[in-house]
């Protein structure tokens, strides 16, 4: 790791939670409600992006490595962080959850799902851990030219937080080309709708993990979402995935 990378990871991130709190949450919430996804512009600085991406080769930070081609997940690889998470991720995860839980609770109410999420991430993690979902799910993904991530849902057990966040750590056009973040939405008895989410380095996308409510003429119904990444045409692309439930 370079000196700059080390320094910006060690710096206390008290300001990161404040930065998350200062995002335009009414706007983000409105987009999540209408589209099932929302962009969080400049969530991380380019330095923070480089510092996180630079962790990839250092296995001391991770509990496992997945080669996507071996599982039919696509092509490319990712690693799940181990606990304790690096400071930046340890601070980002509860800060984002604190805002997203309100959306999650409203969505469940609209979909007639009885589960409610506590206001603090620590309380939700306790619920996961007590049910045997104790392994950390934040992950770092690495794609090279020709790689892609098949449409999927990040479900890791009975307990599911219905929203997740992915942060683009690389700069499109400079570090890689292609590699678009894609969401599809399947409505009951209808064909699927695709959405390509334009992201710059440091931007994040918040999106529904598997279901979201859509207001129809005859009430609210549930749509089924999947996400993935189109083929990387050139270069290298890194993403930080923040999933709020832990895994079995």
**Residues that bind ligand AKG in the complex, under the rule CB under 6 A:** 141, 149, 154, 166, 181, 227, 229, 239, 241
Which residues of the chain form contacts with Fe ion (CB under 5 A)?
154
User: Of these partners, ligand AKG, Fe ion, none, which one is at the site of residue 48 (CB under 5 to 8 Å by kind)?
Assistant: none
User: Of these partners, Fe ion, ligand AKG, none, which one is at the site of residue 229 (CB under 5 to 8 Å by kind)?
Assistant: ligand AKG
Residue 4 beta carbon to ligand AKG: minimum distance, rounded to whole angstroms: 24
Q: Give residue number: closest CB to ligand AKG.
A: 241
Looking at the Cβ atoms of 77 and 154, the one nearer to ligand AKG is 154
Strand partners, 215: 220
Looking at the Cβ atoms of 130 and 148, the one nearer to ligand AKG is 148
Residue 68 beta carbon to ligand AKG: minimum distance, rounded to whole angstroms: 10
Looking at the Cβ atoms of 110 and 153, the one nearer to ligand AKG is 153
Handedness of CA 237, 68, 39, 190 (dihedral sign): positive
Looking at the Cβ atoms of 11 and 231, the one nearer to ligand AKG is 231
Contact yes or no for 86/99 (Cβ under 8 A): no
One DSSP character per residue, 170-239 reads S-BTTTEEE--EEEEEE-TTS--EEEEE---TT-EEEEESSEEEEEETTEEEEEEEEEEEPPEEEEEEEE
74: left (phi over 0), alpha (psi -120 to 50) or beta: left
Looking at the Cβ atoms of 107 and 148, the one nearer to ligand AKG is 148
Q: Report phi then psi at 64, rounded to 5.
A: -165, 160
Contact yes or no for 244/100 (Cβ under 8 A): yes
Residue 143 beta carbon to Fe ion: minimum distance, rounded to whole angstroms: 13
Residue 10 beta carbon to ligand AKG: minimum distance, rounded to whole angstroms: 25
Q: What is the DSSP letter of 57?
A: T
- Look at residues 161, 200, 206, 164 and name the one whose alpha carbon lies nearest to residue 37: 206
- Compute how many other C-beta atoms are within 10 angstroms of the C-beta atom of residue 205: 22
Looking at the Cβ atoms of 211 and 227, the one nearer to ligand AKG is 227
Contact yes or no for 177/230 (Cβ under 8 A): no
User: Of these partners, Fe ion, ligand AKG, none, which one is at the site of residue 141 (CB under 5 to 8 Å by kind)?
Assistant: ligand AKG
User: Of these partners, Fe ion, ligand AKG, none, which one is at the site of residue 79 (CB under 5 to 8 Å by kind)?
Assistant: none
User: Of these partners, ligand AKG, Fe ion, none, which one is at the site of residue 239 (CB under 5 to 8 Å by kind)?
Assistant: ligand AKG
Separation of alpha carbons 33 and 19, rounded Å: 22
User: Of these partners, Fe ion, ligand AKG, none, which one is at the site of residue 175 (CB under 5 to 8 Å by kind)?
Assistant: none
Residue 166 beta carbon to ligand AKG: minimum distance, rounded to whole angstroms: 4
């Amino acid at each position: 790791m370079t000196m700059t990378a080390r320094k910006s990871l060690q710096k206390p991130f008290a300001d990161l939670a404040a930065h998350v709190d200062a995002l335009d949450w009414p706007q983000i919430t409105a987009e999540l409600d209408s589209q099932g996804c929302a962009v969080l512009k400049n969530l991380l600085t380019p330095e923070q992006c480089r510092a996180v991406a630079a962790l990839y080769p250092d296995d001391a930070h991770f509990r496992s490595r997945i080669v996507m081609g071996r599982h039919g997940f696509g092509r490319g690889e990712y690693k799940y962080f181990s606990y304790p998470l690096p400071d930046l991720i340890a601070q980002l995860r509860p800060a984002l959850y604190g805002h997203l839980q309100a959306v999650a609770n409203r969505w469940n109410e609209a979909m007639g799902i009885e589960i409610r999420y506590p206001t603090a991430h620590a309380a939700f993690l306790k619920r996961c851990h007590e049910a045997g979902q104790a392994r950390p799910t934040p992950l770092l993904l690495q794609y090279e030219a020709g790689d892609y991530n098949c449409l999927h849902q990040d479900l890791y057990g009975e307990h599911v937080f219905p929203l997740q966040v992915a942060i683009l750590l690389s700069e499109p056009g400079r570090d890689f080309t292609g590699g678009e973040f894609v969401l599809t939405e399947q409505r009951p008895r209808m064909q699927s709708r695709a959405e390509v989410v334009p992201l710059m380095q440091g931007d994040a996308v918040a999106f529904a993990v598997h279901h979201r409510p859509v207001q129809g003429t005859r009430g609210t119904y549930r749509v089924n979402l999947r996400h993935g990444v189109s083929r990387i045409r050139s270069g290298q692309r890194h993403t930080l995935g923040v999933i709020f439930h832990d895994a079995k």
